[in-house]
Amino acid sequence: MSIFLDENTKVIYQGLTGSTGRYYGLLNREYGTQVVAGTHPNKAGIDVEGIPIFASVKDAAEATGATATCVFVPAPGVQGAVLEAAEAGMELVVVITEGVPAHDGAYFYNVVKRDFPSTRLLGPNCPGLISPGKANVGITAGHIAKAGGPVGIVSRSGTLTYQALYELKQKDIGVTTCVGIGGDPVPGTSFIDCLEAFEADPETKAVMMIGEIGGSAEEEAADFIRSKMTKPLSAYIAGVTAPAGKKMGHAGAIVSGGKGTARAKMEALADAGVLVGNNPTEAGDLMAGIVAAF
């Protein structure tokens, strides 16, 4: 099985008429994803290579039966786009856009959580998710992912999401679903959300986790793994050499004092029974050892 996304998921692209949204929307359709509609309030009635454009997510959902949307609108419009999608009943809202103001992200995260509990928000500032061989929503290159399981991947880092997929493909290890949760301070979906879903998925036998400096999400995940997870994990934490107090890449990747360091996260995960690699390749090697023992 897969989590959050499969071959039956019908997806709307908010921003399909823009150059980036168009590129990835068509690429995802070519991969096999059911990209059934796009939206633009001033362009309803046109189409993008056969994909109809509607004025709103509600109109698109009513016409197509879509249950998911991918947001490719500029950062100032993301808050409105997310709330529009949630109000239209979308079960999954994937926000690729980076540079979303932190207060906007915190606001729509809390509104969605409070008022639309059936809507799963992924991102912002994330690569999306891919269930290899089934569907791909976002900017992950489908050819680097091997289908068939038995490993699930969850990652904060976009680039390392791709490397994790490729490391496993090089070892002929398939993936059920790979979820890039994004590096903003308030991610819509957390490590724990994904770990809980992978734990419940019968076809996911092991999980590879990619974290990075900043915040406490990895330590919280370690607590969850220790108390709730029965499946084996390998992990890598980026930022071992990052100096304290420096923001490194993502808005959420900042170390304050002694908190949020890569070393502290690695130790917390190791104490929870996770096999922690010193680099992504080593994390892949450790996962290959886990899979070989099945």
Phi-psi region of 277 (alpha: psi -120 to 50; beta: other; left: phi over 0): beta
> Is residue 122 a contact partner of residue 181, using CB atoms and an 8 Å limit?
yes
Q: Is 103 a catalytic residue?
A: no
Q: How many angstroms separate the Cα of 66 from the Cα of each of 16, 170, 191, 203, 246?
A: 15, 34, 26, 25, 42
Q: Which residue of the set 40, 103, 143, 250 is catalytic?
A: 250
Within 8 A by CB and 6+ apart from 229, the residues are 195, 199, 207
Q: How many angstroms separate the Cα of 57 from the Cα of each of 14, 62, 189, 205, 218?
A: 8, 8, 21, 36, 34
Comparing C-alpha atoms, which of 226, 232, 218, 227 is closest to residue 266?
218
> Is residue 61 a contact partner of residue 35, using CB atoms and an 8 Å limit?
no
Q: How far apart are CA 182 and CA 96, in angstroms?
A: 9
Q: How many angstroms separate the Cα of 72 from the Cα of each of 32, 120, 139?
A: 19, 17, 10
Dihedral sign, Cα of residue 82, residue 87, residue 93, residue 198: positive
Q: Which helix (H) or strand (E) holds 116?
A: none
Q: How far apart are CA 98 and CA 51, in angstroms?
A: 25
Positions annotated as catalytic residues are 250
